[in-house]
Amino acid sequence: MHRLKDKVAIVTGSSSGIGKAIALRFGAEGANVVVTARRMTLCEETVAQITKNDGQAWAIQTDVADECQVERLLDETVRRYGRLDILVNNAGVIAGGRLAETTTAAFDEVMNVNLRGTFFCCQAGFKQMKKQGGGTIINMSSVAGVQAWAGTGAYSASKHGIMALTKSLADEGRPHHIKVSAICPGGVADELVDASPEEILRSEMIDPFDVAETAVYLATLGNYSVVHQIVIDRLGGRLVADGEEECDRPRCGQLRTQAASLDMHGDN
């Protein structure tokens, strides 16, 4: 049974990582999936995987930090499919480290992609859903969006901002039958999205397809049910962040202390 049959879904950052897992899962459930990210070649690979399994998908290059590109994404999607049922705002990056060592450029990059990008997509998606009488918006936050630790300042600030946007938009969407939810995962095996289940299990990280299944759950709730926030925590051994003491904080193994930008959810 295809739980998302004929639904139109945009998944940002779906060229790799969590976003790719969500796109693949949505395709398997019968959705028309719009695969979008900066890296068009990888977007096309995701589309090929979906269509190989008899799914429907289309790729369009988008940098979510560019408002004009986001507007084009929505316009082209509606022109092609006539509507937008599901919007998953997944594109995101990590940059920075400890606040005293975080450059302005690194801080701005995180805010531009993670927070401004989510804002642009939410705004454009909400307008379309309001016109058509409803829809579902799923924002990818993080455990760092409900907590914060040393070395996560810029990233946590962006993800806390996403939680505020989510809560505000959820309230604004009620009269228009627009559901808005956030998923807050801990350490996910992003780079293993194309690996075997055994490899993912050995990583002792959260399976990206568990996050994808959570997105399917949120997108298939009944007409009068909405879940505002789901935290997916990580079980397993301790993680060690670069240059930090051993800790068991869910994201500490992925939050790096250097200022270089790292791909996490999938390409922006």
Q: Please identify which of the residues 81, 155, 217, 224 carries the catalytic annotation.
A: 155
* Whole-angstrom distance, CA of residue 125 vs CA of residue 84: 8
Whether the model pTM is above 0.75: yes
Nearest by Cα to 155 from 39, 37, 257: 257
Q: 191 lies in a domain? A: yes
Q: Which residue has the higher pLDDT, 23 or 186?
A: 23
Lowest mean pLDDT among 51-55, 104-108, 202-206: 202-206
> For the domain that residue 165 is a member of, what is the CATH number?
3.40.50.720
Over residues 108-119, the pLDDT tens digits come to: 999 999 999 999
In the prediction, which pLDDT does 199 show? Answer: 84
Q: 235 lies in a domain? A: yes
* Whole-angstrom distance, CA of residue 155 vs CA of residue 140: 13
Q: 45 lies in a domain? A: yes
Q: 131 lies in a domain? A: yes
Q: 1 lies in a domain? A: no
Q: 60 lies in a domain? A: yes
User: How far apart, in Å, are the Cα atoms of 221 and each of 64, 138, 140?
Assistant: 27, 13, 18
- Which residue range is the domain that position 30 belongs to? 8-266
Q: 2 lies in a domain? A: no
User: In the chain, how many domains are there?
Assistant: 1
In the prediction, which pLDDT does 94 show? Answer: 86
81 classed as catalytic:
no
In the prediction, which pLDDT does 228 show? Answer: 94
Taking residue 75's Cβ as centre, other Cβ atoms within 10 Å add up to 12
Q: 115 lies in a domain? A: yes
